[in-house]
Amino acid sequence: MNRKGCDSGFFILLGAGDPKVQQIWQDAASGQFELVMSVISINEVLVILYRQGKLAEADGFRSLIYSSPWVHIVPVSISIAEKSAGYRHGLGLSTVDSIILATAVEENCGELLTTDRHLVAADSQGIVKVTLLA
């Protein structure tokens, strides 16, 4: 199945009602493609919800996202850690950015959906197509 890497900012924009992100979300839910998400993004989204004081919503999100068959959540494996080291060194990315990128590449994503403009470097280097959502 066609896969798209999905960075943490995607979920912030989904919460903001961004029409483009909502459409991507609906397309994924209908089975057109799978969204690949690093466990790091689970951490980031939960922290954002905690900081908003939305503990119940964070608990709900955690529970429901794990039940979504169109979302594939990927732990940081040895191969992702190794690949991310190369991206961190070669592209000057932060640790988290490099793990998000390595996760998308390791999981054979045709595209990485992000709000983080640092990751555009991966596109210009021909590593993976990067779509900036905001």
Site string for another protein, 40-59 (x = CB under 8 A): ----x--xxx--x-x--xx-
Based on the shown chain and the rule CB under 8 A, indicate whether residue 81 belongs to the binding site for another protein: no
Q: CA angle 51-65-9, nearest 5°?
A: 50
Q: How far is the CB of 33 from another protein (least distance, A)?
A: 13
Q: Are the beta carbons of 106 and 80 closer than 8 angstroms?
A: yes
Listed ranges 73-81, 91-99, 105-113, 123-131: which one lies at the site for another protein (CB under 8 A): 91-99
Instruction: Name the packing angle between helices 39-51 and 55-66 (round to 10°).
Output: 160
- Burial (Cβ within 10 Å: 0-12, 13-18, ≥19) of residue 45: buried
> Residues in the site for another protein, rule: CB under 8 A?
8-9, 11-17, 22, 25-26, 28-31, 44, 47-49, 52, 54, 57-58, 60-61, 63-65, 67-70, 94-97, 115-116, 118, 134
